[in-house]
Amino acid sequence: MSTEEKTFREFLRSKHLRFTPERNAILKTVSSLRRHFGIDDIYDKLRERGNNISRSSIYRTLPLLEQCGLITQTFRCLDRVTYEHSFGHIHHDHMLCIKCGKVIEFRNEKIEKLQEQVCEQFGFKAIEHRLGIKGYCKNCRRR
């Protein structure tokens, strides 16, 4: 049993939910994706693998995977939500080109430090943050 599966099983148990074969297939699919993904990406990958799992099952499972820290929602743009596998990965932020869809991941220690300072200034205890910048990439700006 993988660490991710164990984490998910324990999370579901704590919520009095079952670890079903469908949830397991969704977890394995999400864990295999090494890029940003949406519901349709998971659905298509499950179909390729011969799994007949509905989109509604995926919609219900993704928030559970997010709550237990296995995936992170990265963007909500044009009524589409994207996620990424985050378990065991260092925190980073994103820039999204709204023309071509390119996602640029980055980490900036000055931004991280500034967030800590702002929280301290207001007596705020942060448990999570997401920075997403939407705009146009270098290539799309040239066109």
Q: Are 81 and 100 in contact (CB under 8 A)?
A: no
Q: Is the pTM of this model over 0.85?
A: no
Inter-axis angle of helices 55-67 and 39-48, nearest 10? 120
Q: Which CATH class is domain 92-143?
A: alpha beta
pLDDT beyond 70 at 93: yes
Domain spans of the chain, in order of start: 1-89, 92-143
Residues 40-90 have pLDDT tens digits of: 999 999 999 999 999 999 999 999 999 998 998 887 766 677 888 887 677
What is the crossing angle of helices 55-67 and 3-14, to 10°? Answer: 90
21: enclosing H helix or E strand: helix 21-32
As its CATH architecture, domain 1-89 has Orthogonal Bundle (1.10)
Lowest mean pLDDT among 30-34, 41-45, 95-99, 126-130: 126-130
Inter-residue contact 94 to 134 (CB < 8 Å): no
pLDDT, one tens digit per residue, over 4-17 is 899 999 999 999 99
Residues 6+ away with beta carbon under 8 Å from 35: 84
